[in-house]
């Protein structure tokens, strides 16, 4: 069984010139979800933010929209993701998900632990 965790992070969309929260996963998953996960080098949130060439901080596995995989999935659509996961036989570990806390070091908010 493979285990993953889903998080929400702030993302700056250069094309739309706006900030919003996207959903990321700790690694490329197996199963149907893998079709909707891409690795992206995220833009800096401000000119004062640095990454020190650390790919763990600037490169993330991002969940894309199911109807338009060229767009990143907004965290407001988390319910859609949960339905997709349930429909495709992923398990959502509610017990572990209840223990999730915000990781202040990289501004990620843990959302759920899943497995397949």
Q: Which tens digits make up the pLDDT trace of 30-40?
A: 999 999 999 99
Three-state DSSP at 59 gives strand
State the DSSP string of 5-68: EEEEEEEEETTTTEEEEEEEESSPPSSGGGGGEEEEEPPPSSTT---TT-HHHHEEEEEBPSS-
Is 102 a residue whose pLDDT tops 60? Answer: no
pLDDT given for residue 43 in this prediction: 77
Confidence of residue 112 (pLDDT cuts 50, 70, 90): confident
- Check residue 101 and give its pLDDT: 58
Rounded distance between C-alpha atoms, residue 116 and residue 30, angstroms:
8
**Chain segment 55-81, per-residue pLDDT in tens:** 556 799 999 999 999 999 999 999 999
Domain ranges of the chain: 3-115
> Residue 96 pLDDT > 90, yes or no?
no
Model's pTM, two decimal places? 0.83
| pLDDT value of position 93 | 86
Whether pLDDT at 53 is above 90: no
In the chain, % of residues over pLDDT 90: 56
């Amino acid at each position: 069984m493979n285990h993953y965790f889903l998080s929400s992070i702030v993302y700056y969309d250069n094309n739309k010139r706006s900030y919003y929260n996207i959903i990321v996963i700790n690694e490329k998953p197996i199963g149907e979800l893998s079709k909707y996960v891409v690795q992206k080098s995220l833009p800096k949130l401000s000119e004062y933010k640095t990454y020190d060439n650390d790919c763990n901080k600037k490169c993330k596995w991002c969940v894309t929209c199911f109807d338009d995989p060229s767009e990143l999935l907004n965290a407001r659509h988390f319910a859609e993701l949960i339905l997709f996961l349930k429909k495709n036989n992923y398990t959502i570990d509610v017990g572990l998900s209840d223990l999730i806390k915000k990781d202040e070091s990289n501004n990620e908010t843990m959302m759920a632990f899943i497995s397949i």
